[in-house]
Every structure is written in structure tokens, then in C-alpha cells.
Structure 1
């Protein structure tokens, strides 16, 4: 099959969760099919050198310099524009012309889009070539969960209500016309079928992990002698910021009182000032961007995932399982992974339970060893990118 793959970014280096998903799925699809890859790149041309990474497995690679338009003001443009604001933010006429020409000149069996923000570029061609959309999250679900957990001014709420209405209609349009929506977990699928379109063609393709890279023996690092927990992720991403705000507001003081020698590592790029401030607390280290996250996984006794805003699945969890670091998570944080509490993961949804499960795991070495063993086993059985990507590539063959 000949497939056109369109991404709104260049997923390299693999320093964020969405990049890992989109890169590995692209690589496996290109192994089974002939792929022309088109991605938006920084307008200064700084990412042009990344082409060779993708040329190793794609038939052709085009990196298109892209500049976001300004966010539209409510009057006069935004209010009367049927596109949701987050979709309009990804539109550029030059890129639309390039894609039009590409589809008119080539014969594709399928177009694979990354997230619904790219649908306007291909929608006009839907009668000539079918398209599928891989979704790192369901946008409407994500925004509604943000609304539930974050604080917004009255003006912000009004703007968001306007966005929700447009986004719901747009989600309906996607569900009606796409050959397949690909989501990260069953919670995403249930949301689409309950709130958007009960017969939408939705396929769950869970996030995975590079089992060789995140192997316990891939780095020479030992567990810290003192009890150590970590949180890993982009530290300017609102669900992660909210998770840590809840953890330090509701859990931290009770936890440090129970385990006074506890060390907490906050590992990830671009920490905002609110995150950086946690570095002054007892036992807390905010690392910022690190060249390799694996040594921190190996140092930590546990990884905490106190997320309250869901959508998609958490790569930090499958990485942690694969490398042998037990995980304590909220149910929302672990959604879509089908992990068993007490066997492959510990689940806690309120502050008291989160404290108790963390202390229990710190004090019970046998429990940690069992979680480590079971976690690595399930990661190897179900979450390797090669197997996940090959199943998707085969599914495309059956669709067409």
C-alpha cells in the first residue's frame, strides 16, 4: 500500500510522550508499507537535519516550515469561524496548497493524519482517498477535564464554552467522515461513543515502549540507598502541572511526615516557575531537562503518577514498567492500560490513599519486587512498539 502520513511536528528527538508514539507508529507502518512522510517544522529551518532520521525507513520525507497564525480575537473573526480555535491555529494556506498538489499528483491508498487539527488539509479530498486519524488524546474530552480541574476567569470560561460547542460539532464531523479514529485507550473510545457519535469507527491502539532502550540492564545505575520517588514528564504541560499541584498541596506534607528521609525527583523539560519552586522543599529536586531519563528510573524506588486530567494513556507508566520501577497512580493516570492493582501497579484516587499506598510500597520490599517483576512481564507481553505498530499496519491492510 502507498500511504501519505501527515504530522503537525517533527517527532525527533524522542523527548516527549507524543513524539515516542508518533515516531514508533510511523516507523512500523513504513516497514510494512510505502510511506511518504510530510511534517511541519520550525520556520527557521533548524530541523532540516532531522530528515535523515526518517529517510532511513520512509519512501520520501518533506519537512514544511510552519508558522502558527496569531490566536484569533473573538470579534470579528473567531466568533464566525466554524473551525474550533485549536484547529484554526494549525492552518496555513501554503501548506494546504502543497498537500493538495501532493494528493493530485500521487495515488495514495490511505492518508494517515496525526490528530484532528490536521483534518482541514485532507477533508476536501475525502471522496478520492480515505483518511484515518491517530489521536494522542480526544480534544473535547481533554478540554472538559481541564475545565473540571483548573481555574479559569469568567472571560476564559466564556471563550472555552464557545470552543467546546465548535469542537463538539467538529468531532462529530470527524467521526462521520474518517475511515478510522485511532485512540490510546478504551476510555477515549467510550467517550467518543457516548458523547460524540455512538457508531464512530474507533480502534484502540495503546501506547507502547521501546523494550530494548528501556531495559533494566540498558543503564548502569543502582537504586538510591534512601527511599526515592520520582515524577517524569514535560513540566509545562497542564495535566502534569495540575498533578504536582495536587500532590504537593494534598499529599506531600503527610508523606514527608511518615517518611522523613524521602527524596522526590521531578524529572522533565521546561519546568514553569510553579514547578521550580518545589525544589526548595525538603527532599525535593527539580532536574529540568535531562539527557537520559533512564538513570532516574533506575534510581527511584517508585514512580508517582497523580494525574487528574486524562485522555490517552501515559507513556511514563509503560516506560517505568519496562525498566522495572514500580508505579503508584490515580485511576485516571493509568486509564487504558488495563493494569491490576496490587499486581502490576498501585492505584489511589484520594490524598489519604495515595499516602498509604506510597508508604506501604516504601516499607514493603517484597511488594516492590513483585510489582517490578509483574510490571516488566506485562510490558514485554503487551507494550512493545514493534508488536503494536505491526498490528496497526496489518489493520490498515484489512481496512483497504
Structure 2
């Protein structure tokens, strides 16, 4: 098949949620099909990551955008009653390239990754359904983005809570339109699909294509003494100085608690801020010596300020996330916002690390509390779970091993991508 794939951000390196999913879709579809890839680059540091993607594509088109300018461009649309997400992720020059392709290539399918990218189909003069051969249109919503804005509205302060609330309503109406116009709508979990069909009762052709984890790459045995393979098929890497800890060795250093994620993402910022403010003090009051590592690129000023808390380290971007998982005694992922599959949970489990997380973060993984990970929602319960693991090396080992087994048995990218391929036909 000839496939046009349009995504809202460059799908490489696969070091954060949306990029992990989009990269694995691109990688899999490119194996047996002619792929034309279009995307935006909203970080100058990502420009160097464009060329490595060319090996997956017949052709590639991209446009660099400045997030600040995109926000300014989007602002007037509030008065027009449209979702701000649409102009934020829209580029007229990228539109022209897509239209050029569509005029020259008879695409069998078009995949849009993230709802706002449907604009490139709706505004195209050459992808119109009524003229010529109509390609099959598939939208990978991944998560119900409109509901995320609703969460932000409930958590936010005036006046941004008003802005978030408007975005939630307008984006939901747009998602309903996409579902009507596209042949298939994909969500990442059954819970997300159920939520979408609840919010859009008339929804049709809603399918679930789950995430996966590269459990060969995210493998504690694949991190040999800080010497790491950095091919495009896995995230690039560099390492901290500390490594994994032997449970039977005398403990001479603090317990290492690790959080991973893109640190400019609101849900991650909320999680680490909450942990440092409300949970970490309870752990310290128990007498356990701990250090908390916040690992991920583009930390906001609010995240950087957390380094003022004793024992908290903000790493910024790291080349190899695996080495930070490897040094973790406990991966603490206290998510209060966001939906869908939390890739950080899957990666930590694949790296055989014991995970303490919340119901919201665990629901997309479907792992069992007390068997594959520990689930808690209040500061006291989260702290208690971390304390128990810190005190019990055997529990850490058993939970880590059970978590890795669960991931390898249930989150195979190849199996999930085969379903995506079938939906394109």
C-alpha cells in the first residue's frame, strides 16, 4: 500500500509517549508499504533527528514551528469558537507539500496521528473523498485529548481554567466530526474507547490498538556497564555514574527513587510537584534516606525549582533513560492527570523495576495491584508503599520480576501493529 502518515510532532527519538507510539507505527508500516511521512518540529534540538527517519520513507516533509508563535497565531481563534489545538498544529507550507504528494500519488490510506492533524485532510484540495480514488482515512486519536483539557480545567486556576474548559468543549465537537468523516477512529485502550463512545454517543467504527514496549531494548541485561547501543531502533543513551544495586550487598547510600517523563508536560509537572510537596516529606519522616531523581527533557521553571528541595535532582535531557531506570530502587510515578497508557510505567516494568503509581496511571496498563506493581492514590498510601519497598529488598525483586513478565506477555508492538495494518486495508 501507499500510505500517507501525518503526525503532530517528529516521531523520533522515541523518548516520550506520543513519539514512542508514532515511531513504532512508522517503523512497522515502513517494512511492507510505501510510506510518505509529514510532521512538525517544535523544538530546534529535534532538527538533527529528521535525517535518521528518511530510511523509513519514500519521501518526507516537515516544517519547523515556534511554539510561542503558534500560540500567538492560535489565540484569535478563541473568538471564532474553534479549538486552539487546530491552528497550533497547522502549517500552510506543510499543507502544500501534502497536497503535492496527493496530486501525484494515489494513496491507499491516510493515517493521522492526533486529532488536530485531520485539518490537513479537511483543508486539502487533492485528498477530497468525492474526487478520484478515495484513500481510507484512519485517525489515531491515541487518547481522548478533549478530556485531558477537561481535567486541566478542573485543576487549573482562573483565567486559564476558563480557556481549558472552552478547549475541552470545542475539541470534543471536532473529535466527533473527525469520527464522522474518517473511516476508522483508533484509541489506545478499551477504557479510552469507552470514554470516547460515552462522550460521543453517535461514534462509529471505534477500534482499540494498544501500545507496546520494546522489551528487548528495555531490558536490565541490555545495559552492560554503561556501554549502550544507540541505533535508531531504540532511544539513544548516556548514563549516570550509579548502576543497579545488589539486594544482598550492605547498603551504604540512599535509596534511589526515580520519575521519568517529558518535564514540560503538565501532567508530569503536576506529578513531581505533588510528590515533592506532599509525599516525599512523609517518606523522610519514616527515617529512610532517599534521593529523588526527576529524569526527562525540557524541565519547566517549576520543575527546576524542585532542586531546592534537599535530595531532589533534576537531570534534564538524558541520552539513555535505561541507565536511570537501572539505578532506581523504586520507580515512583504518581500521576494525577492524563489518560491512556503511561509508557513510563511499561518501561519501568520492562526494566524489572518495582513501580509505585496511581490508579489513573495504572488503568491503561491493566496490571494487577500487589502482583505486578503497587497502586495508591493518597499521599499517605503512596508514601507507605514506597517505604515498604525500600525496607524489603525481596519485595522489590519479586515485584520487578513479575512486572517484566507481565509486560513481555501483554505488550508486544508487533502484535498490536498488525491490527493497525489490518485497519488500513
The CA deviation at 1:311 is 1.8
The CA deviation at 1:230 is 0.7
Q: What 5-or-longer segments of structure 2 have no aligned partner?
A: 226-242
Q: Pick from 165, 173, 195: which aligns with 2:199? A: 195
Superposed CA offset, 1:100-149 (max 9, x none): 23212211111001101111111253522221112343211110111222
Map 1:1-400 to 2 at 5 A.
1-41=1-41, 47=47, 50-66=49-65, 69-72=70-73, 77-123=76-122, 125=127, 127=129, 128-149=134-155, 151-153=156-158, 155-219=159-223, 220=225, 221-223=243-245, 225=251, 226-396=254-424, 400=425
Superposed CA offset, 1:13-65 (max 9, x none): 23322212111111011113221212224698972x54442232322223344
The CA deviation at 1:246 is 1.7
Superposed CA offset, 1:223-268 (max 9, x none): 2843221111111210011112221222111111114311211111
Q: CA RMSD in A?
A: 2.3
Superposed CA offset, 1:147-181 (max 9, x none): 222x321x333333332332221121012122222
**RCO comparison, higher one (Cα < 8 Å, 6+):** 1
Aligned length: 392
2:270 & 2:325 partners in 1: Cα distance? 22
Give the match's secondary structure for 2:56.
Answer: coil
2:303 & 2:63 partners in 1: Cα distance? 34
2:193 & 2:42 partners in 1: Cα distance? 32
Superposed CA offset, 1:252-294 (max 9, x none): 1111111431121111112222222222323222222222111
2:264 & 2:64 partners in 1: Cα distance? 24
Does the 8 A contact of 2:350 with 2:407 survive in 1? yes
TM-score normalized by structure 2?
A: 0.85
Does the 8 A contact of 2:85 with 2:116 survive in 1? yes
Q: What 5-or-longer segments of structure 1 have no aligned partner?
A: none
Does the 8 A contact of 1:228 with 1:299 survive in 2? yes
